[in-house]
Structure 1
Amino acid sequence: MSQSAIKLYGFPLSGHSHRAELMLSLLGLPMEFVLVDLKQGAHKSAEFTATVNSFGQVPAIDDNGNVVADSNAILVYLATKYGNGQWLPSDPLGQARVQRWLSAAAGQLHAGPATARLVTVFGADVDAASAIERAHALLALVEQQLSETCYLAGEQPSIADVAFYTYVAHAPEGNVSLADYPQVRAWLSSIEALPGFVGMPRTVIGLQTP
């Protein structure tokens, strides 16, 4: 039986949405993209919060009636169900190494590169200088890690790399230069060379904050 399309509720310029889209594409899974218009507040509507994600955020997926929200939770779900052990290690140490970077994706990555990008792309009223400073502090750590291993959690790509890719690749949109991070740039190229890779649109146009 062929795999039915997995619905992805997202927004094209959301890095969190792109994480899920990238994972679906890397796994070769059929996808139906359901646009959630953040500019119109669709993610906060009564219908969306009641049926898709009570937190009022994108992305979320619907896999044949199984609804999973939160980008990192989606990565874990997809890797566990469809990844054949490739994207999430089965051993405790390997899983812990991946989880470390998933936590950083929800913390330092969000507070740094993602927040800096919110200013230029979505017009967010936040302290851009502080976000840029946090971004460079994180990128220095990523650069160090990638000088020791090919990928964030080891020698093979994992969902840790998928969680980090988008906001690092699009960091320059938030005035965060990658010029001083050759290992990071090489890592981005290696992710982009993976079979099934799909990118997120690049933009620096101003939008209203969702």
Structure 2
Amino acid sequence: MKLYDLEPSGNCYKIRLLASLMQKDLELEAVDFLEGAHKRSPVIDLNPWGQVPVLVDGEVVLRDSQAILVYLARQYGGHAWWPEGAAQQGDVMQWLSTAANEIQNGPGAARLVDKFSAPLNKPQALAVNDGILPLLEAHLSQHDWLALGRPTIADIAVFPYVALAHEGGIDLSSYTSILNWFERIKALDNFIPMSGI
């Protein structure tokens, strides 16, 4: 199983982290983003969007970190990371949507501006951030995990760009429930870090 990977990408890290937590081997294929390798073969052939991560597992080729998380969790993790019931799947899925929307466009976008000089609107990213972090803090003040009372891919999807928020100039020091959640994730067996986390 091969992952076309970019080390500083939180979306790629989600996949590396879940694979490690499940003790599933990944062959990492580094993509030289600065040299435009994501816009050339083989990446562009596998993902016409020209983005990473891309997962290749036999005949299965998937783009988008949330979709890859669902696939890996269901294919190799049984129901430990991705539940069976419809309501339970919906509970997890709403957090995957949050990761792809508010987290990506809030702390994720602020980090892209500060760390990589991305041509994004940082005030808009901070406004999104200021909306989502209090909601996340309130939820985690009542729950140890985002969904189902246990670690799931909901936590793996949301964690990276919130944990990297400091790289976008966002101060998390007042969000004690979020910081405690970080520590619970880091305490999971086979947790692996990335630069900045």
In the superposition, the TM-score normalised over structure 2's length comes to 0.96
Identity percentage of aligned residues: 39
Q: Give, as a single letter, the amino acid of the residue that structure 1 aligns with 2:65.
A: S
Alignment length, in residue pairs?
197
Pick aligned residue for 2:3 from 2, 8, 20? 8
**C-alpha deviations, 1:162-193, integer Å up to 9, x for none?**
00111011101101111111000000110011
Instruction: Say what the alpha-carbon RMSD is for the aligned residues.
Output: 1.3
- Counterpart residue identity of residue 176, structure 2: P
Q: Does 1:195 align with 2:175?
A: no
Which residue number in structure 1 is paired with residue 20 of structure 2? 25
> Displacement of 1:45 after TM fit?
1.2
Report the secondary structure of 1:177's partner residue: coil
Structure-2 separation of matches of 1:186 and 1:12: 25
In the aligned structure 2, how far is the partner of 1:200 from the partner of 1:128? 24
1:79-106, Cα deviation, whole Å (9 max, x unpaired):
0011121101111111111110111111
Shift of 1:46: 4.3
- What corresponds to 2:61 in structure 1? 67
CA contact (8 A) 2:4 2:43 kept: no
**Which residue is 1:47 aligned to?**
42
Does residue 93 of structure 2 align to residue 90 of structure 1? Answer: no
Q: Structure 2: any 5+ residue segments left out of the alignment?
A: none
Of residues 180, 195, 199, the one that matches 2:174 is 180
CA contact (8 A) 1:166 1:200 kept: no
Q: Which runs of 4+ in 1 moved over 2 A?
A: none
Which of 30, 39, 43 is residue 35 of structure 1 equivalent to?
30
TM, length-normalised to structure 1: 0.90
- Rounded to whole Å, the distance in 2 between the matches of 1:70 and 1:36 is 15
Deviates more, 1:162-171 or 1:38-47: 38-47
Aligned ranges 1:51-130 → 2 under 5 Å: 52-130=46-124
